[in-house]
Amino acid sequence: MAMASLSNPITYLPRTRLGFSSSSRGHSFLNPKKSRAIGRKTSLSFTTVCKAVSVEPQSEIEGLNIAEDVSQLIGKTPMVYLNNIVEGCVANVAAKLEIMEPCCSVKDRIGYSMIADAEQRGVITPGKSILVEPTSGNTGIGLAFIAASKGYKLILNNARINEHGKASAVQSIWSRTCGTISGVGHFLKSKNPNIKVIGIEPAESNIISGGKPGPHKIQGIGAGFVPRNLDLEVVDEVIEISSDEAVETAKQVALQEGLLVGISSGAAAAAAIKVAKRPENAGKLIVVVFPSFGERYLSSVLFQSIRDECEKMQPEP
């Protein structure tokens, strides 16, 4: 997960944005004409389109927008300002909604790119190869839906290929943690070296900040080691967020912004809010990545308090 504080003049946002008057709400980002007219000089025009891009549409019907397959729905996720949870902030906070990927997480991107890359190198073939990945969670899901759509068998979680399997090839693909901050950070800094990239790690397992690994509840981050993939050259700062703060902020993002997000999104939002409160960031834009959709965490600690509440409910006579 990555978060970038974009400095002036590239992303100048006037303080007026922070008042959130009723007239500043309700813009549709699907309609460029209606997009946030805040009278600023900016290269970030929010004419965001969240739509499938069919390279060569087969349909004769003009304007029909149908993807060729699910992989074309990956990416181009929309962004939205956070309006209610940002009390006391002097910068604007906008969320990049990776929760709106086809399989609901930022890992849809790598699921596609790992398989597409292996195909391009000619080492796997749909219908023949079995893909083996020692991972679970969102990376596993990202691989699974692409494998399904392309016709691969996929084995996750350290599974071993059965010696009687009929596979003609086996491809082991290693998981790549910290890819988001390293990749996004590198790209953004190549566009604007003034952009600040801020990482988040669990306070209970703060090894990048020089602490010790430990158990925590922020699924998806804080692997307990410094991942080989992490490019610290592009990371300007690392903020520690506790599991409790991540869970509570994720709940507040749902309750106050209507965005059902996962625990790591809660951690990212908590860090973004801290950064947006710093006086030196007045008027800037803080972009926070929400890596995964909250529905995936219904049985996790994220919804524990709601489960407890429900269990205590008594039928009214």
Ligand X SMILES: Cc1ncc(COP(=O)(O)O)c(C=O)c1O
Residues designated catalytic = 107, 264
Within 237-303, residue ranges assigned H as helices are 243-252, 263-276
> Which residues contribute to the site for ligand X (CB under 6 A)?
1, 105, 107, 137-139, 177-181, 219-221, 262, 264, 291-292
User: What burial letters (b/e) apply to 101-140, b meaning 16+ CB within 10 Å?
Assistant: bbbbbbbbbbbbbbbeebbeeeebeeeebbbbbebebbbb
Q: Which is nearer to ligand X, 18 or 303 (CB)?
A: 303
State the minimum distance, in angstroms, from the CB of residue 83 to ligand X: 23
Q: In this chain, which residue has its C-beta nearest to ligand X?
A: 220
Q: Which is nearer to ligand X, 13 or 273 (CB)?
A: 273
- Cα separation, 313 vs 317, whole angstroms: 12
Here the contacts of 37-45 (C-beta below 8 Å, separation 24 or greater) are: 38/13, 38/14, 39/14, 40/12, 40/13, 40/14, 41/9, 41/12, 42/10, 42/11, 42/12, 42/13, 43/10, 43/11, 44/6, 44/10, 44/11, 44/285
State the minimum distance, in angstroms, from the CB of residue 12 to ligand X: 29
State the minimum distance, in angstroms, from the CB of residue 191 to ligand X: 19
Q: Which is nearer to ligand X, 130 or 261 (CB)?
A: 261
- Cα separation, 253 vs 85, whole angstroms: 7
Structure tokens at 196: 């600040």
Give the residues across from 233 on adjacent strands: none
- Cα separation, 100 vs 296, whole angstroms: 13
265 contacts: CB under 8 Å, gap ≥ 6: 1, 95, 99, 250, 253, 288, 289, 290, 291, 292, 294
State the minimum distance, in angstroms, from the CB of residue 81 to ligand X: 21
State the minimum distance, in angstroms, from the CB of residue 140 to ligand X: 9
Q: Which is nearer to ligand X, 98 or 257 (CB)?
A: 98
Q: Which is nearer to ligand X, 6 or 106 (CB)?
A: 106
Beta strands at 237-241 and 92-97: parallel, antiparallel or unpaired: unpaired
Q: Which is nearer to ligand X, 107 or 196 (CB)?
A: 107
State the minimum distance, in angstroms, from the CB of residue 267 to ligand X: 8
Give the residues across from 287 on adjacent strands: 4, 94
